[in-house]
Amino acid sequence: MRAQYLVLVILLLLFSGCRAILLKKMVNQYDNRTGEQFAPIIAEDTAGLKTTVEAYQDKILYVDFWATWCAPCINMIPHHDTLVQLLESDTSIIFVNICVDKNENKARWREIIHQKDYKGRNLFLDIADPQTKSLRLDESGFPFYLLVGKGGVVLGCDLSPDEKIWVPYALLQAKDGKTVKASLKNFFKQAKRMHHHDDAETKAFVDFLDKYIIKKNAAE
């Protein structure tokens, strides 16, 4: 196990070094909507019934906005499902996938989520619905991800599920009310000092890697 940690430390440090120049841009990207209040969304479920997506007082939401015509969105589904499976034992994290598209593409939506076995709560929102204006998807584009904390405060956005190591960390940190910006900075900090297990925060980080990354990869 010690050797595995050593290899992972090296990889994380390389990862950190490669991204150092872009760190500020990353933080700004993830931090774009932090602090906003998540407004409830009324959408249609796979049974054709109207349902409301709203914040919880004791859970967090990871909301994926996508469209049937968006190839990058569809290509991201396997990564999304891997993330869901990684955190499936944690019932305080709710995954919601909202397809924002034309009503005429609803059959295609159902086909995709069936073929891809899209995990999480799947909903459809007509792109002509007035609710879409408040989402500002014309600014963000697709796919777009929102991390909503307990009580409905947005903790960050654009956490792409293909960033397999640190995004699960951010979701788990969100349970304690930490923003994506704070989680990202702490991730790099702890990655650089993993060999020190002399404080609770670093030990918790090592335990996270052991539980969600190393053991998961070993099982596969």
d(CA 155, CA 35) in angstroms, rounded, equals 6
Rounded Cα distance, 1 and 125, in Å: 47
pLDDT score, position 24: 58
Predicted pLDDT of residue 184: 83
Distance CA 134, CA 151 (A): 19
Q: What pLDDT, on a 0 to 100 scale, did the predictor assign at position 67?
A: 97
Report the run of H or E that residue 53 belongs to, with start and end: strand 50-53
- What CA–CA distance (Å, rounded) separates 158 from 178? 16
Cβ burial, residue 181 (10 Å; 0-12/13-18/19+): middle
- C-alpha to C-alpha distance for 32 and 49, rounded to whole angstroms: 32
* 121-126 and 93-101 strand pairing: parallel
- Using alpha carbons only, give the angle 68, 69, 73 rounded to the nearest 5 degrees: 70
Q: What is the pLDDT of residue 7?
A: 43
In this prediction, residue 3 carries a pLDDT of 37
Structure-token match 């015509």, residue found: 69
Distance CA(11)–CA(77), nearest Å, equals 25
Q: What pLDDT was estimated at residue 1?
A: 39
Report the C-alpha gap between 42 and 39 in whole angstroms.
Answer: 10
Query: pTM of the prediction?
Result: 0.83
Which residue segments constitute the domains of the chain, with CATH numbers given?
1-30+187-220 (no CATH), 35-178 (3.40.30.10)
At residue 134, the pLDDT reads: 85
Residues of the chain with pLDDT under 50: 1-7, 9-10, 13-14, 16-19, 21-22, 218-220
pLDDT at residue number 158: 87
